Amino acid sequence: MFSFQAKTQQTKTAHKSLSIQEKSIITVSSFTANGDLPKLKAALNEGLQAGLTVNEIKEVLVHCYAYCGFPRSIRGLQTFMTVLEERKAKGIEDIAGADASVITEKTTKYDRGKKILSELAKTPPPGKLSGYSAFAPVIDTFLKEHLFADIFERDVLAYAQRELVTIAVISSIGDAEPMLQGHLSIALNTGISREQLLEFISIIKETAGSEKATSAQEVLNEVLKNRKSL
């Protein structure tokens, strides 16, 4: 498995703009969340042309389910299957890419997930549960064990790429501002720049509409204001 440092290092590049692969991750994630399959189909083709591997796109679509549910994720995967079949029929052989590494850590999934979340948020884990986690402790277990261990721990995508998927889905479904605020902050922690997040908003405007983009921009403004004051 990649270490946290190795997985974040992939995004800490000199460019201030999103790469073509990063833009594709955002558009694929947003159209998957919206269930806009015709536009998703075009975005999947563009992602492959941009250099994303088959397994990277699969991982994007699988990651989406954690934030927009199995129905959208599975329809995304089915659409991707069609895209690959059509490209193969045209004689296009797409690069499969690397599979996820086997997890060798011996600690519990809950502890691994708690550690990953703490590293991403750059805050120590709380001493006791609070808020919705205290109200329904089982959701805290699912969050730590499944989302941050089973999913985030997989190394097909870097943490920063997973955060692009996450904020794209949350922005596109809307009405989840507290979670969007948290993940925009995590995105900055993984090396995604302020300029790249502003570019992200412009992409969301195209994929999810002005209302969703405006809402995401307001949350981003608050995140940037809070970080500036620290």
Per-residue model confidence as pLDDT tens digits over 95-140: 999 999 999 988 999 999 999 999 999 999 888 999 999 999 999 9
Write out the H or E segment, with its range, that includes residue 3: none
Per-residue model confidence as pLDDT tens digits over 135-167: 999 999 999 999 999 999 999 999 999 999 999
* Residue-by-residue DSSP string for the chain: ---HHHHHHTT--S--SPPHHHHHHHHHHHHHHHT-HHHHHHHHHHHHHHT--HHHHHHHHHHHHHHH-HHHHHHHHHHHHHHHHHHHHTT------PPPPPP---S-HHHHHHHHHHHHHTSPPPSS--HHHHHSHHHHHHIIIIIIIIITT-SSS-HHHHHHHHHHHHHHH-S-HHHHHHHHHHHHHTT--HHHHHHHHHHHHHHH-HHHHHHHHHHHHHHHHHHHH-
Amino acid identity, position 47: G
Share of the chain above pLDDT 90, in %: 88
Res 14 pLDDT > 50: no
How many residues are given for the chain? Answer: 230
4-101+154-229: CATH topology is AhpD-like (1.20.1290)
pLDDT of residue 170: 98
Mean pLDDT of the chain: 93
pLDDT of residue 105: 87
Per-residue model confidence as pLDDT tens digits over 31-49: 999 999 999 999 999 999 9
Considering only CA atoms, which of 9, 55, 2 is closest in space to residue 189?
A: 9
pLDDT of residue 40: 98
Residue 10 — very low, low, confident or very high, per pLDDT cuts 50/70/90? very low
pLDDT of residue 7: 53
Summarize the confidence of residues 202-220 as an average pLDDT. Answer: 98
C-alpha–C-alpha distance, residues 202 and 120, integer Å = 25
Res 23 pLDDT > 50: yes
Res 67 pLDDT > 60: yes
Residue ranges per structural domain of the chain: 4-101+154-229
CA separation, residue 28 to residues 24, 108, 134, 166, 167 (Å)? 6, 32, 34, 12, 12
pLDDT of residue 126: 87
How many alpha carbons lie under 13 Å from residue 182 in its C-beta half-sphere?
10
The pTM (predicted TM-score) of the whole model is: 0.92
pLDDT of residue 13: 44
Summarize the confidence of residues 213-229 as an average pLDDT. Answer: 94
Summarize the confidence of residues 161-178 as an average pLDDT. Answer: 97
In the numeric block, which tokens belong to residue 74? 């599975």
